[in-house]
Structure formats: C-alpha cells, structure tokens
Amino acid sequence: MGRTLENKKEIVAELKSLLSESESIFVIDYKGLTVAEISDLRNRIREKGGTCKIAKNTLINIAVEGDENWQPVQEFLKDATALLLTKEDIGGVVKEYKNFQKATKKTELRGGVLEGKVLSKTEAEAMADLPSKEELYAKIAGALNALATKVAVGVKEVPASIARGIQAYADKEGGE
C-alpha cells in the first residue's frame, strides 16, 4: 500500500514540475486509444516541444490545487484524461493534436488553460491557427529586411536630394 502512495506522490510531483515549465495545458479525452496510438500521440506532441501526460483526475486535481494559474483546468477533468502541456509552440502542439485526431477519428479536445484563463473547446482549437515560433521569426526577418531595404534606398536618395537642393539654391542666387 505504501508503494502506491509513494508512486502517487511521484506522479503529483512530476505533474507540478511539468506545469511549472508550461505555458498552456490542453485537456483531451483519450478514451478508445490503443497503446500504440497513445505512443504515436506522445511522439507527435514531443516533436512540437510539448508533453502528453496521462494521469488520474484525482492526481491532476492535487497537482493544480491552490495554483491560480492551473486550477481552472479542474473543470475539464472527467473520464479518461490526457494533458497536452506546451512550452513555446502552443499552435504547433494543438495543430499536431488535430492532425492526430483527424487520422485516428478518436479523442476529443475538451478545452484548455492559458495563463490562468480557461479556453473553451473552440478557443483551444483556434490556437492551432497561431503561427509557430519559426513562422514568427520568418515574418519578423522579412519585415526587417524590407525595412532595411527602404532605409538603404532612402539613405542613397539623401545625397542626391541635398545636391539638387544646393543646385537649386545656387541657381536662384546666380539668377538674382
């Protein structure tokens, strides 16, 4: 009996550790998945920098108890619960989960929590539309390149416009 209590304490400690490193949690009902499908889901989520953790609802409740940021997840805890914990690429994790869901026709996204705020199923699914960190970096780099080009063209134009201004002034002085 003591061993199972120790085991439960370890699971709660692991959950707390995962939560401390996460930006968001998405709760799915994984009922009906085979062991191979659960492995596939875990691998897919890991590739996107997230973690798929299956635990008993009572242990998840204990792990989030008193934690304002994660306590809202309690409303989604029923039946067979798996947590998708994300670090940076929230959109990528949700997108990958949706791909998995499409392929297996199993599981259901119940909702999620982001920075202490509850996300409905619809809001949680909408997170899949967020650009990944790489996409954001590419957009920023593109914007910076465009800006640098505009600045370079502008800087190149300055001497020419100064020269025209001086010439116009000289012409005006010469004419008077």
- The DSSP code sequence of 12-52 is HHHHHHHHHT-SEEEEEE-TT--HHHHHHHHHHHHHTT-EE
Task: Report the amino acid identity of residue 35.
Answer: V
Residue 2 in this model has a pLDDT that exceeds 60: no
Q: What is the mean pLDDT of residues 7-20?
A: 90
Residue 105 in this model has a pLDDT that exceeds 80: yes
The two structure tokens encoding residue 98: 């949706």
Does 158 lie in the same domain as 122?
A: no
Does 110 lie in the same domain as 141?
A: no
User: Which residues span the domain enclosing 166?
Assistant: 131-176
Q: What is the mean pLDDT of residues 116-144?
A: 77
Does 81 lie in the same domain as 147?
A: no
The pLDDT, as a whole number, for residue 1 is 47
Residue 143 in this model has a pLDDT that exceeds 80: no
